[in-house]
Copies of this chain bind each other. A is one copy, B any other.
Amino acid sequence: MTAHGSSTAPADLRSTVARHWTATEARDWTAVASTLADGVVYDLPQTRERIRGKEAFLRFYREYPGDWHVRVERLVAEGDQVVSWIHARVGPEEMHAITFFGGDAEGRITTITDFWPEPYEPPAGREHLTERY
């Protein structure tokens, strides 16, 4: 991201991830690209799909169907690990997504692991402990 490769300050993956989501919501693909390492690997454990490389990943985002919107609910960062919890909206459908990011020494994203939990009905037998919201 910066010209001076000799910097010894730890790069800030937290701010990279914040920029990643802002740029994604804005469909600013140049800015999204600047958050990614060339060899970024994107994993979806629920489908066991993997996408390798910045170009394929950007194409996946660009081609993603629907009028989707993303908003960051929470970011938790520790060194070269960042987790985001986003609220996603595609038309009338609302979803949560939780994403684990890893980064390189320059603060670019090298790994993305995405989870998309879906609503389900509570199993019977625990109504004595729970309320609904």
Contact = CB atoms under 8 A, between A and B. Distances in A.
Interface of A: 43-52, 56, 59-60, 63, 65, 74, 76-78, 81-83, 85, 96, 98, 100, 115-122, 125-126, 129-133
Contacts of A74: 81, 100
Given A76-B77, A133-B48, A118 B118 contact: yes
Given A60-B129, A76-B82, A83-B98, 5 more contacts: A45-B96, A48-B119, A50-B132, A76-B78, A83-B83
Nearest to A115: B117
B85 A76 contact: no
Nearest to A98: B98
A49 B98 contact: no
Contacts of A96: 45, 115
Given A130-B50, A131-B52, A132-B48, A98 B115 contact: yes
Contact of A126 (B48, B60, B81, B116): B60
The 8 A-B pairs at the shortest CB distance, nearest first, are namely: A117-B117, A47-B122, A49-B130, A115-B117, A83-B83, A98-B98, A76-B81, A76-B78
